[in-house]
Amino acid sequence: MDRKFGLLNSKSVDLLTNTFWNIGFYMHIIFGGIALFIGWTQFSPKMRNRRMALHRKLGKVYVVAVLLSALAGIYIGFFATGGWVSSAGFICLGIVWLYTTLKAYLHIKSAEIEKHQKMMVYSYAACFAAVTLRIWLPLLTMVYGDFSKAYLVVAWLCWIPNLIVAYLITRRTANQ
């Protein structure tokens, strides 16, 4: 199958045929997609209050999906297009996503509900970087006229503003 399109077009044939990179790449996009798909449902107070068992089950699926996707994302981050600048951005994103999710899990296990909820806002903000990357990348590619330059910026821009929004959300809810 020809894989020379989009982001994969910037990858070498050696990397595209590397078994470990492919496992990491597909693990990242499949489990990241699962986390993105179910994560937003966890913020519904109506669902949480009416179906707590479902909330807990979906939460466990989210945590496992994040664990697998974030670890794979950290690994493939070392091979990011653009060198160390973009690699550092994506590796930091993977670490933040993993950390916030694990902290949220530990908080709920300790019955620290408010801390759990705040950490989940940060976790999903990191997860949502998948969406913001896809919004910013075509715009930045048009602005710079070059995919590689845009990718250096988007490696950071896809998640740092999301965390700022998460901070504003958690700060606002703490003041209510």
Domains: count for the chain: 1
Contacts of 2 (CB under 8 A, 6+ apart): none
Domain hosting residue 126, numbered range: 12-174
Residue 39 inside a domain? The answer is yes
Residue 1 inside a domain? The answer is no
- Tell me what pLDDT residue 15 has: 80
- Tell me what pLDDT residue 165 has: 97
Residue 67 inside a domain? The answer is yes
Residue 168 inside a domain? The answer is yes
- Tell me what pLDDT residue 173 has: 73
Q: Could you give the 3-state DSSP secondary structure of residue 17? A: coil
Walking along the chain (176 residues) 10 residues at a time, the average pLDDT comes out as 58 82 94 96 89 94 98 96 95 98 98 96 98 96 92 97 97 75
End-to-end CA distance of the chain: 54
Residue 34 inside a domain? The answer is yes
**Integer CA distances (angstroms), 172 to 1, 42, 50, 66, 129, in order:** 49, 19, 25, 26, 22
Contacts of 32 (CB under 8 A, 6+ apart): 65, 69, 73, 127, 130
Residue 94 inside a domain? The answer is yes
Helix-helix angle 160-174:113-127, to 10 degrees: 160
Dmax of the chain from CA atoms?
Answer: 54
- Tell me what pLDDT residue 170 has: 94
What is the residue type of 107?
A: H
Residue 38 inside a domain? The answer is yes
Residue 87 · residue 75 · CB < 8 Å: no
- Tell me what pLDDT residue 16 has: 79
- Tell me what pLDDT residue 7 has: 67
- Tell me what pLDDT residue 9 has: 66
- Measured between alpha carbons, how far is 104 from 152 in angstroms, rounded to an integer? 30
Residue 6 inside a domain? The answer is no
